[in-house]
Amino acid sequence: MVIDTANHAMLAILNKDADIIGKPLLQGIPEIEGAPAVDMLFEVFNTGKALDGNESPVPIFRNGILETRYFNFSYRPLMDDSGIVGVMDIAVEVTEQVLARKKLEDIIAEKTELTKTLRSSETRLQGILDTMAEGVGIIDATGQMVYANSMAQRILGLSEDEIKERTYGDSRWRNLRLDGSPLPDDEHPMTVMMQTGLACYDQEIGVQPPDGERRYISINAAPIFDEQGTLTGGIGTFMDVTNRRKMMIQKDDFISVASHELRTPVTALKASLQLLERMKKDVNPEKFDKLLTQANRSLNKLSDLINSLLNSNRISQGRFPIHKIKFSIAELIDECCQHVRTVGKHDVIFSGDLDLQITADEQLLDQVIVNLINNAVKYAPNSKEIKINIAQHQNYVKVSVSDSGPGIPPDKIKHIFERYYQAEGGTRQFSGLGLGLYISAEIIHKHGGEIGVDSEPGKGSTFWFTLPL
């Protein structure tokens, strides 16, 4: 393995002078020892089999520094009759190409990594947008909707295909002011934002989808600017506030119902007191007694109403302790019916397990039973009989109050135990606050029982509750 000859190009590649010729290979170029290309050279010498190398790294001194250079080469054994006498090495340096390709590969790897990161953050963002409780809609500079997340689709009743066709002022989704009148386009928060370039927050509007229920949404609208500061579109985030609005409307309605209810006994009380005042000097004992009874009745009515209001508040805040004692349920019901019997318009008929003793809060149960009986009297005035049944089951007792009044339509039954609910709506046909059944249900639930109604229009109603024994 002595270097027999080397042309100029080979010397230039190895960065050596011609004095390496005549020296053993590893003595002339010691730095290449251990490089795979050198091992292969020895292999060819030992085996006599030709080998080729491609882009093989070899350490070479250049400008006093040991650098890795790359070569394509072919090793051919030189033979004579006695066998292998040497190896011919034809080498081409391809360092520049290899380095250029490596750089390209690095750039591609970096780009791939970047795309991966981008894709994963895109997936994360999409995940957030998909699970957000707010609707998100993006419009372009012309007002055309270009994106709406799942919640936006749900709130607006939009399908994926419809999104592309919709502008926020699309007439099929009628935008409404809070008073229900049509919302002019230039009052829409997105238009205001696009016209002024200023964000606006928490603007409530109504939206009537093509075939859906009217929704109320609270919109935040923010402009999107490009790097030159040109307005290129807008992003709207909106929340379905239909329930919040419904509750506000319900509260307003309730205040008007409650004021009306309170005014009736107050007016009557005022009238009785004025008449009593006028009678001061010349008292007519018979009239005096009558007016006093009337005044007391109005005052009791007023105090009942105030109690209902207080109870409903306490109950909704979960503030009502129960004190259980053992008592006869039939006796309690009997007491609760006294006032109906006294008036004499209805017959109260008892049946079932009249000897049953139960353990419960007597005062609270009194309230429930009085409410059910009073409702039967109030809402079924023409029903002559009110039937009360006490039935003992294996581990609970069921008390039912039946009337043969007008009954309750099925769509109203599901709301009947809700706070403030009155099936007649705002007709004010009957007095009441829509609290009686709500309070009753809370009391029964607190005892671990259930409450319900079986009713059909025209066939009367049976209100019932159960208590665990």
Q: Does 434 bind ligand ADP (CB under 6 A)?
A: yes
Binding to ligand ADP in span 386-415, by CB under 6 A:
403, 405, 408
Contact, 356 vs 328, CB < 8 A?
yes
CB nearer ligand ADP, residue 164 or residue 384: 384
Nearest distance, CB of residue 414 and ligand ADP, angstroms: 12
* Separation of CA 155 from chain center: 11
List CB contacts of 150: < 8 A, sequence separation 6 or more. 129, 130
Pick the piece of the chain touching ligand ADP (CB under 6 A) from 138-146, 200-208, 229-237, 431-439: 431-439
Pick the piece of the chain touching ligand ADP (CB under 6 A) from 76-84, 166-174, 285-293, 434-442: 434-442
Binding to ligand ADP in span 332-371, by CB under 6 A:
371
Q: Does 451 bind ligand ADP (CB under 6 A)?
A: no
Nearest distance, CB of residue 284 and ligand ADP, angstroms: 36
One-letter amino acid for residue 204 of the chain: E
Q: Is 120 exposed, middle or buried (0-12, 13-18, 19+ CB in 10 A)?
A: exposed
Rule CB under 6 A: choose which of 132, 231, 268, 423 binds ligand ADP.
Answer: 423
Pick the piece of the chain touching ligand ADP (CB under 6 A) from 32-40, 128-136, 209-217, 430-438: 430-438
Q: Does 379 bind ligand ADP (CB under 6 A)?
A: yes
Contact, 148 vs 136, CB < 8 A?
yes
> For the chain, what percentages of helix, strand and coil (3-state, to nearest 5) are there?
45, 30, 30
Rule CB under 6 A: choose which of 333, 422, 442, 447 binds ligand ADP.
Answer: 422
Contact, 207 vs 173, CB < 8 A?
yes
List CB contacts of 198: < 8 A, sequence separation 6 or more. 223
CB nearer ligand ADP, residue 158 or residue 416: 416
Q: At what angle do helices 285-316 and 242-278 cross, to 10 degrees?
A: 160
* Site track 307-336 with ligand ADP (rule: CB under 6 A), x = hit: ------------------------------
Q: Does 442 bind ligand ADP (CB under 6 A)?
A: no
d(CA 209, CA 215): 8
- Tell me the CA distances in angstroms from 321 to 82, 307, 310, 364, one per residue in order: 115, 16, 14, 10
Q: Does 424 bind ligand ADP (CB under 6 A)?
A: yes
Task: Enumerate the β-bridge partners of residue 426.
Answer: none
d(CA 79, CA 147): 76
Q: Does 147 bind ligand ADP (CB under 6 A)?
A: no
Contact, 234 vs 193, CB < 8 A?
yes
Rule CB under 6 A: choose which of 147, 327, 396, 421 binds ligand ADP.
Answer: 421
Helices (H), 317-423: 329-343, 362-379, 410-413
Nearest distance, CB of residue 411 and ligand ADP, angstroms: 13
Q: Does 437 bind ligand ADP (CB under 6 A)?
A: yes
Q: Which residues bind ligand ADP (CB under 6 A)?
A: 371, 375-376, 379-380, 403, 405, 408, 416, 421-424, 432-438, 461
